[in-house]
């Protein structure tokens, strides 16, 4: 989907209930038709890539997603990749994630994470083989697709349009490669982007025929009801006996962590959180 550049906001309300927040598209095209009854992820007609390079540090990929009203706490991010010739025992070793508000390379800004911290927590075979789209290719086992997961992320995002940037590492020489989202009948055209360290630039991810594509990833976590922060005319950096403060965005972020600040009063603890979470300063005359 096409992302619209937007300023980052912060999540509001009380979070509850782990669920799948975003699934960026299917990989399986022919369930159970692969070797040994495995699922097949075949190249979509009209496209040509088994997968695209996502090997940190040489390449990073990005795709967009939308956070609903009230905001999300993203606790888990799942990527998908293979290393050609690997067994079904995963060879993946690393996962690196950043969140952008706005389009990477086109005015977007990073609002969470860095590209140096390895957030990898687990990996396993998905039960899917990546193959060509000729049925004669469905028994090929050269590209078992692995799940690569980062857990306990605690990413707080308010309603809006975002991009997730990620890269992975593996212990084998090939790739890792991440497969585009697939359909057995027609190509799924998308707007994913790629950062090449050699070129030091973000560009559109395109096939040889210049068609763009989507990349598969899954986010799980918690949603929040649309509960706006209680605001007041009082400064966020000064304690006062009423709830909320004058900076609505900072007020929401503080109250995500400590509801007391929006329910009872904005005390010294709320001021401390405002300074730490919102980057505010206390000025002394």
**Residue 6 pLDDT exceeds 80:** no
Fill in the DSSP letter of residue 188: -
- CA 218 – CA 2 distance, rounded (Å): 18
Instruction: Give yes or no for a contact between 129 and 41, defined as CB atoms under 8 angstroms apart.
Output: yes
SS3 144: strand
- CA 285 – CA 283 distance, rounded (Å): 7
**pLDDT band per the 50, 70, 90 thresholds, residue 229:** low
76-125: pLDDT as tens digits = 999 999 999 999 999 999 999 999 999 999 999 998 999 999 999 999 99
- CA 35 – CA 53 distance, rounded (Å): 25
Q: What is the pLDDT of residue 285?
A: 52
Residues 6 or more apart whose CB falls under 8 angstroms from that of 229 comprise: 12, 244, 248, 251, 252, 255, 262
Q: What is the pLDDT of residue 81?
A: 98
235-273: pLDDT as tens digits = 999 999 998 888 877 887 787 777 788 888 999 999 998
Q: What is the pLDDT of residue 271?
A: 92
24-47: pLDDT as tens digits = 989 999 999 999 999 999 999 888
146-177: pLDDT as tens digits = 999 999 998 888 778 999 999 999 999 999 99
Of residues 124 and 274, more confidently modeled:
124
Letter string b/e over residues 215-232, b meaning 16 or more CB atoms within 10 A of that residue's CB: bbbbbbbbbbeebebbbe
**Residue 14 pLDDT exceeds 60:** no
């Amino acid at each position: 989907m096409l992302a619209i550049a937007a300023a980052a906001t912060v999540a509001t309300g009380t979070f509850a209930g782990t669920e799948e927040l975003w699934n960026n598209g299917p990989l399986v095209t022919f369930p159970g038709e692969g070797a040994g009854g495995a699922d097949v992820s075949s190249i979509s007609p009209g496209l040509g890539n088994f997968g695209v390079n996502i090997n940190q540090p040489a390449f990073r990929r990005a795709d967009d997603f939308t956070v609903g009203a009230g905001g999300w706490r993203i606790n888990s991010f799942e990527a998908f990749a293979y290393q050609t010739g690997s067994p079904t025992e995963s060879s993946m070793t690393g996962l690196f994630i950043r969140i952008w508000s706005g389009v990477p390379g086109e005015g977007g800004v990073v609002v969470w994470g860095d590209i140096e911290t390895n957030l990898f927590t687990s990996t396993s075979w998905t039960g899917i083989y990546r193959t060509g789209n000729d049925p004669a290719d469905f028994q090929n086992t050269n590209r078992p697709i692995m799940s690569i997961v980062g857990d306990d992320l605690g990413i707080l995002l308010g309603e809006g349009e975002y991009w997730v940037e990620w890269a992975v590492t593996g212990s084998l020489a090939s790739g890792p490669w991440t497969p585009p989202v697939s359909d057995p009948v027609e190509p799924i055209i998308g707007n994913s982007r790629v950062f090449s360290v050699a070129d030091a630039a973000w560009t559109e991810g395109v096939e040889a025929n210049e068609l763009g594509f989507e990349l598969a990833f899954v986010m799980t976590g918690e949603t929040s009801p649309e509960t706006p922060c209680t605001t007041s005319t009082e400064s966020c950096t000064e304690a006062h006996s009423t709830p909320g403060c004058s900076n609505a965005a900072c007020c929401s972020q503080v109250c995500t962590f400590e509801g007391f600040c929006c329910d009872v009063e904005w005390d010294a603890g709320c001021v401390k959180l405002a300074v730490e979470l919102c980057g505010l300063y206390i000025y002394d005359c």
